[in-house]
Amino acid sequence: DHYLLFDFPGQVELFFLHSNAKNVIMRLIKKLSLRLTAVHLVDAHLCSDPGKYISALLLSLSTMLHLELPHINVLSKIDLIESYGKLAFNLDFYTDVQDLSYLQHSLDKDPHSAKYRKLTKELCEVVEHYSLVNFTTLDIQVRIGYWYVPGTPWYAPKPYQYF
């Protein structure tokens, strides 16, 4: 098996302001008969702030809809999540993208968020309406002898290498 990796770290504008990256990827798919899967990495520390987590959900959903590829969302750096403070909910809440109305209660505690309460509620409803976003986790500290993320094309155990 061969893998082709397109890495766009922090380059959201490549996907949403221009369609160049998508066009290149789609041409390669057709010309080389590639089968691609998009893997969207989201820093797990965003779970510690309800507003940032909602933004990450919207970005993940938007990326999924825009790229039109099989898609896997990954909460990366999960081993560092506790260093940003205690999470308001258990990790399953964030990975399974459960009832987002609970986030609204967390946001209501912040006086700055009250101003955007209705907008936040409606954005959460958009994410829930599509019911597409969920996350798997990546903890680089867990060394099982194989590098994998459940659900990804490289999930089958293969020896990993560090470069």
28-60 pLDDT, tens digit each: 899 998 888 888 899 999 999 999 999 999 999
Residue ranges per domain, the chain?
38-137
C-alpha distances (whole Å) from 149 to each of 133, 152, 156 are 16, 6, 9
**Contact status, residue 135 vs residue 128, Cβ threshold 8 Å:** no
Intervals of the chain under pLDDT 70: 1, 13-16, 142-163
User: Which pTM value belongs to this model?
Assistant: 0.81
**Contact status, residue 78 vs residue 92, Cβ threshold 8 Å:** no
**Contact status, residue 106 vs residue 88, Cβ threshold 8 Å:** yes
pLDDT per residue as tens digits for the range 101-114: 988 888 877 777 77
